[in-house]
Amino acid sequence: MASKKFLYVNRKAPHGSIYALESLEVVLIGAAFEQEVTLAFIDDGVYQLLKNQDSSAIGSKNFSPTYRALGDYDVNQIYVERESLELRGLTKEDLMPLTWEDEDDDWAEKDSIHVVSSAELAEVIEQQDVLLNF
């Protein structure tokens, strides 16, 4: 099977609409297809990665722990747009730690999250074959 570069762009808050949850479902299924997978979080999408989420008061499922499984699915290229964080008064410290184990480096635990400028993110987007926006 041909290998392509898939980029999932997440632009919406985790709750308020179902796009974030159903995006994550595509990412997890897509990971089984042995394609190159990259995730980007921009605009309100950066809220999807906030740590200590609690959605019990709105009665919606808190699916945020699932992001921590991404490393086990070899999804370890996660880009977060710096401008989107700054506009919302957030820093990387507000995000949950997402890591992966590099089997080529004695299973060293490495950071999956890269905070990049919008110009750097544009370069990442430029390199992709298939782009899915959620």
Partner 1 sequence: MKFSIMVNEGPYTHQASDSAYHFTAAALKAGHEIVRVFFYHDGVNNGTRLSIPPQDDRNVCTRWSELGQQHELELILCVAAAQRRGLLDEDEAKRAGKNSDNIAPGFEISGLGQLIDAGIQADRLVVFGD
Question: Which residues contribute to the site for partner 1 (CB under 8 A)?
Answer: 1-2, 4, 6, 18-19, 22, 25-26, 29-30, 32-33, 35, 129-133
Nearest CB to partner 1, comparing residues 27 and 80:
27
Q: For residue 42, give every residue at least 6 positions away whose Cβ sits within 8 Å of its Cβ, in sequence order, or none.
A: 9, 10, 11, 80, 81, 84, 118, 121
Which residue number, 62 or 91, has a Cβ lying nearer to partner 1? 62
Smallest distance from the beta carbon of 50 to partner 1, in angstroms?
Answer: 23
Q: Which is nearer to partner 1, 31 or 90 (CB)?
A: 31
Min dist CB 20 to partner 1, Å, is 11
Q: How far is the CB of 26 from partner 1 (least distance, A)?
A: 5
31 or 96, CB closer to partner 1?
31
For partner 1, give the closer residue by CB, 11 or 82.
11
User: Least Å distance between CB 13 and partner 1?
Assistant: 15
Query: How buried is 104 (Cβ within 10 angstroms: 0-12 exposed, 13-18 middle, 19+ buried)?
Result: exposed
Q: Please state the closest distance from residue 31 (CB atom) to partner 1, in A.
A: 9
